A and B are shown apart, each in its own frame.
Chain A
Amino acid sequence: MATPLTLKELSKKEDRFTHGHRMCSGCGAPIVVKIAMMATEYPVVVSNATGCLEVSSCISEFTAWNVPWIHTAFENAAATLSGVETMYRSLKKQGRFDKDKEVKFIAFGGDGGTYDIGFQSLSGAMERGHDMIYICYDNGAYMNTGIQRSSATPLGADTTTCPAGSVIPGKLRARKNLTKIMAAHDIPYVAQASPSHWLDLAKKIQKAHEIKGPKFINVIAPCNRGWRSKTNDAIQLSRLAVNTCYWPLYEIENGVTRITVTPKEKISVAEFMKPQGRFKHLFSPENEGLLQRVQDEVDREWAKLQKEAKTD
């Protein structure tokens, strides 16, 4: 039976992702990972794309993974895991693996390794129908190499490759909506989540494990180095991302969209952006228009999502 999703009960479980990892102080990604691993009751094999999480969690003989874990390269966490999962099926079919033991498969990738370079591998693995959950921890840039623009970088953000200069005010393109793109693969389960809403995230992981086939969960993961914010605000910022509807929490199960957390009061996206140095330039008068565009994009996407969503 699944552990009830209360903090008291969850705290009794052994860590499958341990301390001693070397993610930066205050990083949002390990919070996402620990919640995902806690909500996983089954034996699990994890695949990891090259990136912050990977380079910080397994160094020389030190691994923070207390479960089987594999990293091969940047663009192929999904393809690599599809191989592991296929071998599991093959051995099980041939009677060479305990038939009563059910193993689950999770891939973790950052937005660079998921939206960009790993996009094809992800799309392929999802289309092939492997039984796995792909979890993207989205911090909106290539943070491991030092804050370079990705297709997940939000409109207006300052990164080292789309810097806010005297002529160009940061990124001029809106984010790619990967969650919707994955939904367009017609896979059985797609969701968006946030570490601030730990219960919502844990429920989505639990639910995803009970669904056979490919699942995709996109989780916002604040990066204080890249977002130019404080080390203590990963949860606060991810909560603001939800409450501004910059990062709506929803799921699409067998084609049916459901908003899982509706903010009590939808606040201005500027509240999410203000504490982040990467958006600082948007608050100067000459960039008023761009700031408005960010709000317009958020409003439009939120309205679209509400329209798509089934009302309970």
Chain B
Amino acid sequence: MKAKGWRDLPPGSVVLEGGSAVKFKTGSWRAFRPIWIEENCIQCLFCWIYCPDMAVEVKDGKRTEFDYDYCKGCGICALECPGRKGQKAIVMAEEGK
């Protein structure tokens, strides 16, 4: 894509499209990857509310897969996950392994 020239810029450098950051994927920052273990999930949605990157997808009030396009791998979800009977529903694994 050709980089923008000065004539192509919106006046006052105003960003005209709300929420356009979704086009910027932050998933590549990840060193560790959260893995969702569905059978241990009680659907408390703590992972969803505490995720700083809105990277937990929820459909009809139930969490589904992680959105790895944006997950930065901080691990808050895994730490906060209460799991089921002491078994975590989210564990962290090193990327690339």
* B96 CB, min distance to chain A CBs, angstroms: 17
Give the interface segment out of A28-36, A159-167, A247-255: A28-36
Task: Decide if B74 touches A231 in the complex (CB within 8 Å).
Answer: yes
Q: Categorize the interface residue count of chain A.
A: 35 or more
Q: Categorize the interface residue count of chain B.
A: 35 or more
Task: Decide if A232 touches B49 in the complex (CB within 8 Å).
Answer: no
B41 interface residue, CB < 8 Å from A? no
Task: Decide if B49 touches A231 in the complex (CB within 8 Å).
Answer: no
In the complex, the chain B residue whose C-beta lies closest to that of A239 is B80
A145–B79 alpha-carbon span in the complex (Å): 29
Task: Decide if A63 touches B50 in the complex (CB within 8 Å).
Answer: no
A177 interface residue, CB < 8 Å from B? no
Q: Given A20-B25, A63-B20, A198-B49, verify A232-B54 contact (CB < 8 Å).
A: no
Pick the residue among B20, B26, B44, B70 that contacts A61 (CB under 8 A). Answer: B20
* B2 CB, min distance to chain A CBs, angstroms: 14
A18–B24 alpha-carbon span in the complex (Å): 10
* A123 CB, min distance to chain B CBs, angstroms: 29
A293 interface residue, CB < 8 Å from B? no
B38 interface residue, CB < 8 Å from A? no
A10 interface residue, CB < 8 Å from B? yes
Q: Mark B39-50, 1 if CB is under 8 A from A, else 0.
A: 000001110111
Pick the residue among A9, A22, A61, A232 that contacts B76 (CB under 8 A). Answer: A232
A66–B48 alpha-carbon span in the complex (Å): 19
A8 interface residue, CB < 8 Å from B? yes
Pick the residue among B50, B70, B74 that contacts A20 (CB under 8 A). Answer: B70
Q: Which residues of B contact A198 (CB under 8 A)?
A: 49-50
Q: Which residues of A contact B15 (CB under 8 A)?
A: 58, 60-63
Interface residues of A in 202-257 (CB under 8 A from B): 230-236
Pick the residue among B17, B61, B67 that contacts A11 (CB under 8 A). Answer: B61
In the complex, the chain A residue whose C-beta lies closest to that of B51 is A31
A27 interface residue, CB < 8 Å from B? yes
A23–B76 alpha-carbon span in the complex (Å): 14
Task: Decide if B24 touches A62 in the complex (CB within 8 Å).
Answer: yes
* B61 CB, min distance to chain A CBs, angstroms: 4
Q: Which residues of A contact B49 (CB under 8 A)?
A: 7, 10, 31, 35, 198
Q: Which residues of A contact B69 (CB under 8 A)?
A: 19
A233–B75 alpha-carbon span in the complex (Å): 8
A67 interface residue, CB < 8 Å from B? yes
Pick the residue among B19, B60, B61 that contacts A66 (CB under 8 A). Answer: B19
Given A10-B49, A17-B54, A65-B19, 5 extra CB contacts under 8 A: A18-B22, A20-B25, A62-B15, A65-B18, A198-B49
20 A-B contact pairs sorted by A residue (CB < 8 Å): A7-B48, A19-B67, A19-B70, A20-B20, A20-B25, A21-B53, A22-B26, A25-B74, A26-B75, A31-B49, A31-B50, A57-B21, A59-B24, A61-B15, A61-B20, A63-B17, A63-B21, A231-B74, A231-B76, A232-B75
Residue numbers of B with Cβ under 8 A of A are 15, 17-26, 29-30, 44-46, 48-55, 58, 60-61, 67, 69-70, 72-76, 78-80, 92
Please give me the 9 A-B residue pairs with the lowest Cβ-Cβ distance, nearest first. Answer: A26-B74, A20-B21, A232-B75, A66-B19, A25-B72, A8-B61, A7-B45, A19-B70, A64-B21
